Amino acid sequence: MSHLVSANELAELIRAGGVRTLDVRWKLGRTDGQDQYLAGHVPGAVFVDLKDELSRHGRPDEGRHPLPSTEQVQNAARRWGIDDGDTVVAYDDAGGGPAARAWWLLRKGGVDVRVLDGGWAAWQAAGGDIESGSVEYTAGTVTLDDISADSLTIDDAAAFPERGVLIDVRAAERFRGETEPIDPIAGHIPGAVNLPDTVHVAEDGMLRDLDEIRAAFAEAGVTESTPVAAYCGSGVTAAHTALILAEAGIDAKLFHGSWSQWSNSPDRPIATGE
């Protein structure tokens, strides 16, 4: 089963009344995600606050978007109106990372969840119906399993290159340590390999052909039999790479603390260059 849906498939699900849609419009440094949602969104979609509902507020040495508790995500999912057995589709307007963050957490919790391929732009391009204003539902009754499965601690991430491939999905110049616009130190986790998340997405925001994607992962040393984990700046974009890996038939783990946690931990070694 695919972890993605097309705009047309989502429209069919909405017409059939068999889906709960989540609008996860968030970008680093932007505060108008909810304003954008209120101005226009997929009919029936509820707004999801990535910072408050899909992340936990923590110390700098825990990263910018620490893994939330199962209880926190469950309470949010119930606010979104999700019941046990519901199908959920998430979308964003930021390349898939925010929606994939919702996908990762809900999937680990046992929910049938997909991501809209191409996000909000794809919905608009397909001529999908748009409604404005806020959507609220009667509280749902979903019960989530433990969402921490397949999530790495910082010690797990440090040891991972000894047994598998740790993918750094940030831009190449950040991986090499040539620039760091956000975190306190430039560079990468020793032993990690660089495969930017953007290489898997076409110019229109849609996922590239799976054969191309598998070839890119294979070049980075990743196959279906390879233990693999991903990290990025703060754990959001890495969730999108995990989604793409799942779509290619490869299970991945995720280091939610990512570079924001590693670079705020003074005792951790820093690598630069290729």
Active site residues: 232
Residue 88: how many CB atoms within 10 A of its CB?
21
Report the alpha-carbon distance of residue 46 to residue 71 in Å, rounded: 19
The single-letter DSSP state of residue 144 is P
- Reduced to 3 states (helix: H, G, I; strand: E, B; else coil), residue 91 is strand
Q: Is residue 157 within 8 Å of residue 262, measured between CB atoms? A: yes
- Reduced to 3 states (helix: H, G, I; strand: E, B; else coil), residue 243 is helix
Which phi and psi (to 5°) does residue 41 adopt? -155, 170
As to burial, measured by CB atoms within 10 angstroms (0-12 exposed, 13-18 middle, 19+ buried), residue 148 is middle
Of 195, 188, 194, 192, nearest to 268 (Cα)? 188
Within the chain, how many helices (H) and strands (E) appear?
11, 9
Report the alpha-carbon distance of residue 63 to residue 235 in Å, rounded: 8
